[in-house]
Amino acid sequence: MAIKYVMPKLAMAMNEGTVNEWLVTQGGKVEKGDPLVTVETEKVAYDCESPEAGYLCILVPNGETVPCEEIIGYFCESAEEAETLLASDHSVSTEDESESNDESSTEQSIAPSTEDLVVVNPVSTPANTGRIIASPLAKKLAKDAGLNLALVCGTGPNGRIVKKDIEAALKAGVHQGVASPLAQGGSVELARIPMKGMRKTIADRMKQSLSTTAQLSSAWESDITDLLNIRKKFVSREEALGTKVSVNAFIIKAIVYAIKQVPIANSCLEGEEAVIYSNINMGIAMSIPGASEYESGLMVGVLHNIENMGVVQIDKEMKALFNRIRNGESTAKDMSGSTITMSTTAGIAPPGMTTTPVLNLPNAALVGPSTAIEKPVVKEGQIVPRTMMPMSFTFDHCILDGEPAARFMSALHDALENPELMMS
């Protein structure tokens, strides 16, 4: 029965150790109490005595550093057992449980206590000799496949090449004469996203937006504590209203209020003319799930003619729009005709983070609310906890100058902090 021998933890602060020198040869016989291995930590080297008698199967070669409690060898009952264990690549049992199902029931684990250690003069770690560190099974698989181990990147402890690295290299078509990306100091691909379809459209529109407009973003915080209290009253009447009114519906209503104070914010650039609209078509940027987490998309749905809607109707219209888009039932009208845009990261971005989204062409303005955070605020001479929402306003300076942009932001801020203004 093979007994595991692990890297000892020789001090509370020790997380790893270096096998400085094995004092017994591979497969050699050792008696209990014999000098076994010199282990080096950051400060000192220790001579460790053998806690068992047997034939030694060495897994970690001289000069390699491994975490504490990792298996570095086995004590076997015979030289043949040590040779068989070494050839079976049992060393990867802690890295890949699928390679150790048969042997796990026949092993015991043992690590030397500090009573078995003799302190010697500190010695430095041997210089890197360029030796390739690989498990026995990995070496065998590479040899059988004619694969040069120098072309394989190891993912085991300290870059050790194990079975799964060989399999990955063979699957990737690595052959002699061409080094793996990591072996050359390069990078390894996780995924490739074709720049076509929705992804290409998004990329093209983002570049066009930044290259054809004079974009400027400003940011501030609005106290939405009172707004949230009013929303609670609406939520309590969810059944009667037919919807659980969202915070976004209130923010959209506040944007409508601000536009009525500063109409030029509700405009688009068409050729050599800035067109200011009397009706408000709110574009709402939303993420669309893709086939994988790397393939999500971005779409802007449009709520049309919301200038006279209340928050309940806005909420219902918005949720119906989202459902149509996500179910693939949207119409051309649902996706076009916006006069201003809202791109919210509330609930997604870290609390308190400000975002500055890119303009949705041809709109001249975009409002970007983010995740609110509770913080201490001075109100009427007292420090009180209030819920503060980061807000940003991105606008095209070709159409909006700083003065009207500032008036728009002030009006939006007032509506968010004094929700009764937008309800009138």
Res 112: pLDDT? 46
Res 11: pLDDT? 65
pLDDT tens by residue, 258-270: 999 999 999 998 8
Res 126: pLDDT? 33
Res 358: pLDDT? 95
Of 181, 16, 4, 141, give the one whose Cα is nearest residue 75.
Answer: 4
Question: For every one of its 424 residues, what pLDDT tens digit does the chain have, with 9 covering 90 and above?
Answer: 789 999 988 766 577 888 878 988 898 999 998 889 988 765 556 778 899 999 999 988 887 888 888 999 999 999 888 888 877 655 433 333 333 334 333 445 454 443 333 333 233 333 333 457 777 677 778 888 888 877 787 776 556 787 888 888 887 766 544 555 555 556 666 666 777 666 777 888 899 999 999 999 999 999 999 999 999 999 999 999 999 999 999 999 999 999 999 999 999 988 889 999 999 999 999 887 765 666 677 889 999 999 999 999 999 999 999 999 888 788 889 999 999 999 998 888 899 899 899 999 999 999 999 999 999 999 989 999 999 999 999 999 999 999 999 999 999 999 999 999 998 7
Cα distance between residue 235 and residue 122, in whole Å:
70
The token duo for 309 is: 């809607």
pLDDT tens by residue, 73-103: 999 999 888 888 877 655 433 333 333 334 3
Res 106: pLDDT? 41
- 3-131 is classed in which CATH architecture? Beta Barrel (2.40)
Cα distance between residue 248 and residue 250, in whole Å:
5
Question: In this structure, how many other beta carbons lie within 10 angstroms of the beta carbon of residue 85?
Answer: 23
| Long-range contacts (CB closer than 8 Å, 24 or more residues apart) made by 191-199 | 191/292, 191/294, 193/294, 193/295, 198/288, 198/297, 198/298, 198/299, 199/295, 199/297
Domain boundaries, the chain: 3-131, 132-189, 209-423
Of 3.30.559.10, 3.40.50.2020, 3.90.1300.10, 1.20.1080.10, the CATH number of 209-423 is: 3.30.559.10
pLDDT tens by residue, 110-127: 544 433 333 332 333 333
Query: What is the secondary structure of 102-134 as a DSSP string?
Result: TTGGG-EEE---GGGEEEE---PPPPP--PPPB
- 132-189 is classed in which CATH architecture? Irregular (4.10)
